Copies of this chain bind each other. A is one copy, B any other.
């Protein structure tokens, strides 16, 4: 029998009916002899309702008090789920983050977990109790309530699994696994049986919204096997695991295709070709708390360069203003911007040992007449920036070119 940590997100516990369904699932696992720690989010909509209340009072709510406020969302869910389990004759006990000693630093709204006391949970598990824990929250060394920031319930699940040395951390959500790409865009997208932590990280950072980056990092660091499954259906989901646990025979060249429409492009024309210029450009951007994603510099012949980088679309106007204010000190001529771009990324640990992935990618895009504006690569990822209009065309073409399409059963005519 295994020790399982199961995490249920907001839509999975979004109503009394959904909570009852979660209780059914938990009691089935419990009946099979598994030990269970269940981490839950706030009922969907609840966190937003609470934040709206806070914003009615303060435009920028006090960070400490905001955590006191929003942490009530998960507290409601743990109580209701524990009641639903009790109704099924299962001894369950709920704990807030503070009660189960999820000790964090004091960075309100985005705290980081420092330590988890497992004694109390282990005593409950020993007594065959189901332990129900409020995700997303903890307590700092002074006993203040903290939250881990949005999506932090996944992190709670993984951290508990690591601390308890659980056999698996199961993340229940509204999709039934990780797909080769977004099935809403590519109907032929297929669910992956397995994916490595590294690939999952790249998928997440490139726009796949299934799991929070932080929880994947955490799981990889502590080698916690992570499984993404649907709380609405049955099915094996996708296992996120260590590289070596995936048989190299089954290792595809490309595991998935991620995309992102949230970026905008900024080009600084006529930057002097001299040391320190890139930091002169990106220093003020960083100081303005604007994150930069892809950066490309083209060396030109006339001692000047064009420096191009991407930022989140919401930051575009601010980034442009920052650069224009610094144009003289940088010694550049002009700032150009474009927000009609999209990023497409191929992700796969198979790339490490195979040449030719980039060539196939560029050929595929060229065949569809899609111009590549920027390219960046890492060991297990190739990203290109293209015109947003061609995004769907590009993703579908690449999905086919790399053999990811669903094998449809042939239908007799």
Contacts and interface: CB of A to CB of B under 8 A. Distances in A.
Interface of A: 16, 19-20, 50, 53-54, 56-58, 61-62, 64-66, 68-69, 71-72, 75-76, 78-80, 82-84, 86-87, 93-94, 96, 98-99, 143-145
A65 B87 CA distance: 12
A20 B78 CA distance: 31
A62 B50 contact: no
Contact of A76 (B16, B72, B145): B72
B83 A58 contact: yes
A225 B71 CA distance: 35
A86 B62 contact: yes
Contacts of A57: 16, 19-20, 80, 83-84, 87
Q: Which secondary structure dominates chain A's binding surface?
A: helix
A296 to B, nearest CB: 44
Contacts of A93: 64
A203 to B, nearest CB: 36
A147 to B, nearest CB: 12
A83 B99 contact: no
Chain B CB count within 10 A is highest, among A64, A71, A98, for A64
Leading 3 A-B pairs by shortest Cβ distance: A69-B79, A72-B72, A68-B79
13 contacts: A19-B57, A54-B83, A57-B87, A58-B84, A58-B87, A62-B82, A65-B79, A65-B83, A65-B94, A66-B79, A68-B75, A69-B75, A71-B75
